[in-house]
Amino acid sequence: MLSKLYFLGAVATFIKLMYFDNPTHTRWNWMILVPINVVRSLVWPSYWLIVRPVSRLVFDFEKTRLAERDSLARRRQVATDRKPEASRSDPVRWC
């Protein structure tokens, strides 16, 4: 019973890795993806418990960092687009 469950987990993991993780396949990357995903699907408990959560943390951190960088760039652009306000030291604008 346990071996059938393990086999079903391996097949489900292989399908997920092949068709949902990398939807763009060419004939060249199949030669690389199939063996790698076969190995990853054979050790599927470690993939689901260790590899996937760690990779999601890393990639989510990267997305967050890029979003913060883009937000900062937009704020800088908005700040440079504004016209300078009159200051008290500028006598022409205060008259």
Q: Per mean pLDDT, which range of 59-63, 77-81, 89-93 is the poorest?
A: 89-93
Q: What is the helix (H) or strand (E) element at residue 28, kind and residue range?
A: helix 27-42
Give the tens place of pLDDT for each residue, 20-70: 877 677 777 888 888 988 998 888 888 888 877 887 777 776 667 777 777
Domains in the chain, number = 1
In a domain, 36, yes or no: yes
In a domain, 84, yes or no: no
Q: What is the helix (H) or strand (E) element at residue 13, kind and residue range?
A: helix 2-16
Helices (H) and strands (E) in the chain, counts: 5, 0
In a domain, 85, yes or no: no
Give the tens place of pLDDT for each residue, 40-49: 888 888 888 8
Range of the domain at 14: 2-78
In a domain, 20, yes or no: yes
Dihedral over Cα of 55, 9, 39, 43: its sign: positive
Is the pLDDT reported for residue 83 higher than 60? no
In a domain, 94, yes or no: no
